[in-house]
Amino acid sequence: MADRETTLLAAGDNSFRLDAYLRRGGYEAARKTLLSLKPREVMDEVKKANLRGRGGAGFPAGSKWAFVPQTDDRPKYLCVNADEGEPGTFKDRAVMTRDPHLLIEGIILTCYAVGIHTAFIYIRGEYEAIARRLEEALGEAGAKGFIGPDVFGSGFGLEVLVHRGAGAYICGEETALLESLEGKRGLPRLKPPFPASVGLFVGPTVINNVETIANIPLIFRHGADWFTGRGLPRDGGTRLFGVSGAVRKPGLYELPVGTPLRKIIFEHAGGPAGGQAIKAVIPGGLSAPFLTANEIDVPMDYESLAHIHSMLGSAGIIVIGERTPMADILRITARFYAHESCGQCTPCRIGTTWISKIADRLASGGGAEGDLETIRDLAEGMKGRTLCPMGDAAAMPILSIVEKFGSELAAAIARKKDTETE
């Protein structure tokens, strides 16, 4: 990105300081907006920008806010989801480390639009240093009156609190996050009711990802049209693509929504490492179905990926080289979900573990005929049948591995049988 002022990734050693943020034009958009626009107008501008959630599901942010009832007296809450647990995803930490004030400005705008006076940043427990940085930044902003009882002298009051999680993947699921924030076990809630009507402490609640909120100030600095112009008309802005795995230059790349996956891997991340060919790519965090090397011309936006039965998810791209056995990939994928299942509902609790046990056996040379079929049946038994989206999150990548790399897995099982007969 040439235009440093408009990026989500501020550069420089002290980019996270308030004075540095102010030099980049920070808080001006929020100040102007709070003093001149009505909350309704703020919400409309965000809707116009077609900002889709950056957490994984890609729900349009403006519509999500509009679900919050504006008619009753219950306190409303904003929960910023900074749990960032999706394997292959490391974008929110970069935003919060380099530019915490961008997030805070986004929080101010969001809360103003929805009429919220208390916001929580739910940050994963492992991000302890980042949590401290956020608290420091909140201190700086509070001292200037950017947050507090009278934001920018507009009469609007806002309190922002940082809450550290305790390291469970499931707490990134929005209702489990609410339970955890309330001090309970992080278990997903049965929906409906949805958080917009009954959320944190039974109040109407907006839950947005860090990157989603961090985009809000940009929309108000430059306008909704500018924002959609940076991405796609129906899916505006840039995305922070985290590329990891078998590439020469793993890292975080801020690129327009809709940039082709091949371009991200080859032009930005330097192509596959060690002269090997690409075998598979996970396009949007581990929960997104795997792509084969033939599928990487796909533009990286929600609709294009949905079209080929995968998803943009958290835009965490993991590249798998030809030398990596898919049995190993299956094993670590299955193990992750078995380890992170909350255990509340039957299919996920037992399905993930059962699949993991088979995958362990398979990867260590103990595969048997029928294993792949069993894995597929078990994953189908989870898909669409669990209490929260985690059943799908676990089932879909596993189904895609078995479906797209079934012959490699079957060959591994057969090889084992050959050695037995010899």
Partner 1 sequence: MNMVTIEIDGRSLQVEPGTTVLKAAEAIGIVIPRFCFHPAFEPEGSCRMCLVEIEGLPKLDLACATVVREGMKVRTATPRVVEARKDVLEFLLADHPLDCPICDKAGECFLQDYYDKHGRYASRFFESKEKKKKKIAIGKGLLLDRERCVLCTRCVRFLRRVTGTGELGVFERGVKAEIGIDEGRDIRNNYSGNLVDICPVGAITDRDFRFKTRVWFLEKGRTVCPRCGRGCSIVVQSVRGYPLVGNERRIYRIVAAENPAVNGHWICDFGRCGQHDIEDDRLTAIAVNDGGRSAGLQEGRPADWNAVLKALAGEIRTLGEAGRGTRLAVILNSFLTDEELGMCRKLFVDILGVKDIFLVDPKPGEADGLLLTADRAPNVRGAAVLGLGPKPPDAARLGESADMLLIFGSHLLDHLSPEQAAAALGGVRRKWLFTAHRSALDRLVDVVLPTAVPAEKKGSFTNVDGITQSFACAVRPRKGCLPEAEILARLAAELGVKLE
Is the Cβ of residue 165 or residue 351 nearer to partner 1 in the bound state?
A: 351
Residues 6+ apart with CB under 8 A from 364: none
Shortest CB 404 distance to partner 1, Å: 23
Q: In degrees, to the nearest 5, what angle opens at C-alpha 294 toward C-alphas 289 and 300?
A: 55
Shortest CB 384 distance to partner 1, Å: 4
340 counts as binding partner 1 under rule CB under 8 A: yes
176 counts as binding partner 1 under rule CB under 8 A: no
Shortest CB 92 distance to partner 1, Å: 23
Provide Rg for the chain, Cα atoms. 22
Q: Of residues 17, 349, 376, 416, which one binds partner 1 by CB under 8 A?
A: 349
Shortest CB 365 distance to partner 1, Å: 15
342 counts as binding partner 1 under rule CB under 8 A: yes
Q: In degrees, to the nearest 5, what angle opens at C-alpha 149 toward C-alphas 146 and 153?
A: 55
Is the Cβ of residue 65 or residue 354 nearer to partner 1 in the bound state?
A: 354
Shortest CB 124 distance to partner 1, Å: 16
Q: Of residues 248, 307, 357, 415, which one binds partner 1 by CB under 8 A?
A: 357
368 counts as binding partner 1 under rule CB under 8 A: yes
Q: Of residues 39, 256, 347, 397, which one binds partner 1 by CB under 8 A?
A: 347
Instruction: State how far Cα 282 lies from the chain centre.
Output: 14
387 counts as binding partner 1 under rule CB under 8 A: yes
Instruction: Kindly list the distances between the CA atom of residue 147 and the CA atoms of 34, 39, 95, 108, 204, in Å, as whole numbers in the listed order.
Output: 12, 17, 19, 7, 21
379 counts as binding partner 1 under rule CB under 8 A: no
Is the Cβ of residue 31 or residue 361 nearer to partner 1 in the bound state?
A: 361
CB 240 within 8 A of CB 10: no
DSSP 189: P
How many of the chain's residues bind partner 1 (CB under 8 A)?
Answer: 33
Residue 312, H or E segment: none
165 counts as binding partner 1 under rule CB under 8 A: no
168 counts as binding partner 1 under rule CB under 8 A: yes
User: How many Cα neighbours within 13 Å face the side chain of 128?
Assistant: 3
Instruction: Kindly list the distances between the CA atom of residue 163 and the CA atoms of 146, 236, 341, in Å, as whole numbers in the listed order.
Output: 20, 30, 22
Shortest CB 400 distance to partner 1, Å: 19
Is the Cβ of residue 229 or residue 343 nearer to partner 1 in the bound state?
A: 343
Q: What is the total residue count of the chain?
A: 422
324 counts as binding partner 1 under rule CB under 8 A: no
Shortest CB 283 distance to partner 1, Å: 23
Binding mask 120-159 for partner 1 (x = CB under 8 A): ----------------------------------------
Give the amino acid at 140.
E
Q: Which of 189, 194, 177 is nearest to 66 (CA)?
A: 194
Instruction: Kindly list the distances between the CA atom of residue 275 and the CA atoms of 237, 247, 283, 291, in Å, as whole numbers in the listed order.
Output: 33, 10, 21, 20
Q: Of residues 66, 102, 338, 396, which one binds partner 1 by CB under 8 A?
A: 338
386 counts as binding partner 1 under rule CB under 8 A: yes
User: Three-state SS string across 271-300, please?
Assistant: CEHHHCCEEEEECCCCCCCCEEHHHCCCEC
Binding site for partner 1 (CB under 8 A): 168, 170, 185, 190, 338-347, 349-354, 357-358, 361, 368, 370, 374, 377, 380-381, 384-387
